[in-house]
Chains A and B, each alone.
Chain A
Amino acid sequence: MTNMLDQVFVLLKHRIVGLVPMPVQPILGAVLSVVAILAVFPGLFAISVLLERKGLGRMQNRIGPNRVGPLGVLQPVADGIKALIKEDLVPYSADHVVHFLAPVVLVVVVFMGYAVLPMGRNMTFVPMDAGLLFYFAMGASAELSIFMAGWSSRNKYSLLGAMRAVAQMISYEVPLLLSSVVIVMMTGSLSLDKIVEVQNQYTWGLPHWFVFTPMGFAAFVMFAIAATAETNRSPFDLPEGESELVAGYFTEYSGFKFAEFFLGEYVAMLSISGLGATLFLGGWSAPLEILNVVPSWFWFFAKIMVWICFYIWMRGTFPRLRQDQLMNFAWKFVLPMTLLNLLVAGLWRFMGEGWLRWVVCSAILLAAYVLGGRIGMRSKKFGPRSYRYAE
């Protein structure tokens, strides 16, 4: 019974695909998977927008949207209708073709990333040998579309926002990749399915997730920071800093195209949470061995939603960084720490089994983080702000 429930989507797909003649079957299978991805993630997008608005409201001591539907749960629907029926304005001097292409490219590229994420047991759209590389290749292509949006709008705020976004994304992509390399070193594979399989083992009922190893935990922290910056979320949301840049690179977008950017942003957030969950939190594997009765896909989506709630919490808590602090933090703290982490992962590999490697690796990482953090806090570059003129 649990097995049936676990594989319910896979079986359903097989059943539907079996209805058509043989040559059409692979095409129909692909179409079904694409439709499923295109249906599920925008749905999750609506839920996370609602969660964010309600949760942020609570954190800021207000109620949040409460007019549409019971307790305001239909707010995303209302937002969607509003975005669709608004007039689509294009600035007179904008570069029309590029202006039109930018949101399309963004949404397409962001959705392509889902092709390699294992969303449950046997639930990867394209089980690719170089899945992780594919994911990062798609993530890197999103930068160009953001530049296209900012540049084609012929608006200085858009351009500034786009340049900030691109500079930030390119800087944080390096630690993002390097912190994932640790996991690749530990599994010896770039395939995300393989990475989940390695983590889906239990000792005394506890899972072998990479977040529970010293360098896995360090990589997880760095990955979470880099992922937040990569998706332009608060506290790294300078590209769309409302107080300075109106809305950043999508200032000149309205109606459906604006909705596309909004969707692209949240879907990218969901997908990078999915990647983080896959790499560090065991993907679809259950947190305890006895919880394996719950279907695997449930765990994957639960982990994504937990990650999203964490994002919302951070947004409600931290103040925004300054541009120079952001860059210094990326290049002078996160990057050296991820490089050290790679070294420690190599050490872990060569120290063999036993408790000694746990002690040594944890000690090195802890010492480095404490030392780096202390020195960093003391330097003016990314330490706490000092208000010289405020009394």
Chain B
Amino acid sequence: MVIFAILAPLTVAGGLAAVMLRNTVHCALAVAVAFAGLALLFLQLNAQFAGFAQILVYVGAVAILVVFAILLTRSSETPATGVFSKTWLTGLVIAAAVFAVLAWAVLGSRTALPHEQIEPQIAVAQIGYALMGRYVLPLEIVAVLLTASMIGAVIVAMYEKGGAK
């Protein structure tokens, strides 16, 4: 619980910084902190595999992709027109309302939840067997999806000869 008390504020602070900072690169670095904090929370929840996969995919790949996109689109300089959209108040109200509803639901259903549980000890081999057994169809679909999205991303972002304005 002590570790949770450290990790949860860190993660939320990373997320908050990511949406509030003015400098876009700082936002990307802050979101990397939030991702790492989430990975540690996964470890805290005994989900070792998911935690390491989270670091590998999010900190190692998604954050880097974001950073590349920021530099390729020259958005590392703070624009003079401001960083928040014209309708920022509406967005904020919607987000606050969503949080209020979610928190109300979570706090309201407290009695229905099981309290203490034996800690599940899951070996990676079990996850492997599950992936190759019961979840083999989703695995194949994800493989196709990843291949398709890779090709799609390359085609979308590829330099078009003469076509660009």
Contact = CB atoms under 8 A, between A and B. Distances in A.
A170 B63 CA distance: 12
Interface of A (DSSP majority class) = helix
B125 A141 contact: no
Contact of B55 (A98, A140, A166, A170): A140
Interface string B29-40: 100100010010
Contacts of A140: 55-56, 59-61
Contact of A130 (B25, B39, B49, B61): B49
A136 interface: yes
Which of A163, A188, A190 counts the most B-chain CB atoms under 10 A from its CB?
A: A190
B59 A98 contact: no
Given A133-B53, A133-B56, A151-B25, A170 B124 contact: no
Contact of B29 (A133, A148, A159): A148
Given A140-B55, A141-B55, A129 B123 contact: yes
Interface in A171-219: 173, 188-191
A90 interface: no
Q: Give the residue among A139, A140, A167, A190 with the most B Cβ atoms within 10 A.
A: A140
Given A129-B123, A133-B53, A189-B125, A143 B60 contact: yes
Given A136-B56, A188-B125, A144 B61 contact: no
Among B26, B63, B68, B124, which residue has the most Cβ atoms of chain A within 10 A?
B124
Nearest to B70: A151
Given A129-B123, A133-B52, A133-B53, A173 B60 contact: yes
A71 B36 CA distance: 47
Interface string A134-157: 101111110110011001000000
B103 interface: no
Contacts of A137: 39, 52-53, 55-56, 59-60
A143 B64 contact: yes
A136 B53 CA distance: 9
Nearest to A147: B67
Contact of A133 (B49, B63, B67): B49
B48 A130 contact: yes
A166 B72 CA distance: 14
